[in-house]
């Protein structure tokens, strides 16, 4: 059986408002269509669709959704097409309390979208992505943001040259600040793209996906943590979620910690599980939780997410 999803994406950093401070604006957007079709085995005809839905998407947009659900003062910074989807996207962010005031609206651009075909028979996901002309966030866009109110800035691993400069700007901003005033940076290394490696040494917290690990030939969470921490910033936290096996993490050279997964009674939608895990882990770390407690919280929230379709039932 097949399930099809369309996912519109455009994202960049997720900005998490500092505790007790009003969040600065940011921007976000995304959308998904979801179609569920019958079993194709032995059938010469194209499978009928069982179900379909539209959903906002994109990694940083999903991170923002989860941070909003958890009650964080979250804001999304990224580009958004000035297309007919814009209203849907902005209204959906608002539902989760995510600030979009600083959205970089790009006129004359089409909204990126993806068609995701999900198989109910074997849980496979086939994603066909289209991004015709929406530009990436520029360093100039980023410099327009007043960083002062933010406690944490999370970057999706893409747009490598610009993101590297944005992280450098945050480090510059941190100079001369006391420990409680620092902005923590994190980056997600998710896709199987060699250029993402350049971002690993830059951030304070590095999330490395199972897909990226497989692309690099790493066969376990332990191997991934050891390889990544060898090139990460000294003392950086490296976090590695691994599907049903849960997640592991380490800080600098310290002994790695692990959390098992928290499977729901029935797994119905794993799309965005990693985004959920990352956001919930950031939320816990930003509130001062220990590393092991933070990844356990990430696994708990991600476990709840895979038991429901989208995020709406968790509101
Ligand atoms: P992605 O969605 O990026 O492929 P993963 O599959 O690594 O991410 O999942 C991220 C986290 O989501 C895992 O660490 C785990 O906590 C949770 N998770 C994913 N799949 C399941 C599952 N089938 N049961 C329970 N938890 C899951």
From atom 8 of ligand 1, which residue's Cα is the shortest distance away?
Answer: 274
Per-residue confidence at 127, pLDDT binned at 50, 70, 90?
confident
Expressed in angstroms and rounded, the spacing between residue 244 Cα and the centre of ligand 1 is 6
Q: What is the average pLDDT across 213-221?
A: 98
**For 40-58, what is the mean pLDDT?**
71
**Would you state the pLDDT for residue 44?**
60
- Ligand 1 binding pocket includes 66 (Cβ within 6 Å): no
Contact status, residue 124 vs residue 3, Cβ threshold 8 Å = no
* Distance of CA 84 from the midpoint of ligand 1 (Å): 33
Asked whether this complex has an ipTM greater than 0.95, the answer is yes
Which residue did the predictor score with more confidence, 40 or 42?
A: 42
| Choice among 2-6, 165-169, 263-267 with the minimum mean pLDDT | 2-6
pLDDT score for 20 = 24
Q: Which residues contact 164 (CB under 8 A, 6 or more apart)?
A: 198, 199, 202
Q: Is the pLDDT at 7 greater than 60, yes or no?
A: no
Top mean-pLDDT range of 13-22, 98-107, 155-164, 249-258: 249-258
Q: How confident is the model at residue 26 (pLDDT cuts 50, 70, 90)?
A: very low
Residues paired with residue 117 on neighbouring β-strands, in sequence order: 4, 126
For ligand 1, atom 5, which residue shows the shortest CA distance? 243
Q: Give every CB contact of residue 24 below 8 A, 6+ residues apart in sequence.
A: 15, 17, 75, 99, 101, 102, 145, 146, 147, 148, 149, 150
Average pLDDT over residues 194-207: 97
Between CA 256 and CA 239 the distance in angstroms is 10
Specify the ligand 1 atom closest to the Cα of 243.
Answer: 6
Segment 240-281, tens digit of pLDDT: 999 999 999 999 999 999 999 999 998 888 889 999 999 999
pLDDT category at 29 given cuts 50, 70, 90 is very low
Residue 54 banded pLDDT, cuts 50, 70, 90: confident
For the Cβ of 258 lying below 6 angstroms from any atom of ligand 1, the answer is no
Give the closest residue (by CA) to ligand 1 atom 19: 243
The string of pLDDT tens digits covering residues 65-103 is 999 999 998 998 988 899 988 999 999 999 999 999 888
Average pLDDT, the chain: 84
Ligand 1: distance of its center to the CA of 291 in Å? Answer: 18
Quote the ligand 1 centre to 297 CA distance (angstroms): 13
Task: Pick from 270, 300, 307 the residue to mutate for probing ligand 1's pocket: most ligand atoms within 8 Å of its CB.
Answer: 270
The residue ranking higher by pLDDT, 205 or 115, is: 205
Query: Could you tell me the pLDDT band of residue 14, with boundaries at 50, 70 and 90?
Result: low
């Amino acid at each position: 059986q097949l399930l099809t999803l369309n996912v519109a994406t455009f994202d960049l950093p997720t900005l998490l408002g500092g505790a007790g401070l009003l969040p600065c604006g940011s921007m976000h957007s995304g959308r998904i269509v979801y179609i569920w079709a019958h079993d194709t085995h032995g059938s010469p005809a194209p499978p009928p669709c069982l179900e379909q839905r539209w959903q906002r998407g994109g990694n940083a947009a999903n991170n923002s959704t989860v941070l909003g659900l958890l009650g964080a003062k979250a804001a999304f910074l990224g580009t958004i097409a000035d297309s007919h989807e814009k209203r849907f996207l902005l209204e959906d962010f608002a539902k989760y309390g995510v600030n979009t005031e600083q959205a970089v609206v790009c006129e004359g651009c089409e909204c990126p979208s993806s068609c995701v075909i999900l198989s109910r028979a074997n849980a496979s996901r086939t994603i066909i992505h289209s991004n015709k002309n929406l530009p990436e966030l520029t360093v100039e866009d980023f410099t327009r943001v007043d960083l002062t109110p933010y406690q944490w800035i999370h970057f999706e691993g893409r747009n490598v040259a610009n993101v590297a400069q944005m992280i450098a700007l945050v480090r510059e901003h941190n100079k001369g600040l006391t420990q409680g005033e620092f902005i923590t940076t994190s980056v997600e290394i998710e896709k199987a793209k060699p250029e993402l490696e350049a971002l690993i040494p830059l951030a304070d917290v590095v999330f490395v996906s199972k897909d990226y690990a497989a692309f690099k030939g790493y066969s376990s969470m332990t191997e991934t943590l050891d390889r990544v921490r060898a090139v990460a910033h000294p003392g950086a936290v490296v976090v590695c979620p691994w599907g049903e096996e849960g997640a592991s993490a380490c800080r600098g050279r310290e002994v790695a910690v692990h959390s098992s997964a928290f499977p729901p009674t029935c797994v119905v939608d794993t799309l965005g599980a990693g985004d959920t895990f990352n956001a919930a882990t950031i939320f816990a770390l930003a509130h001062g939780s220990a590393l092991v407690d933070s990844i356990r919280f990430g696994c708990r929230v991600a476990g709840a997410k895979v038991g429901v379709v989208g995020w709406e039932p968790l509101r």
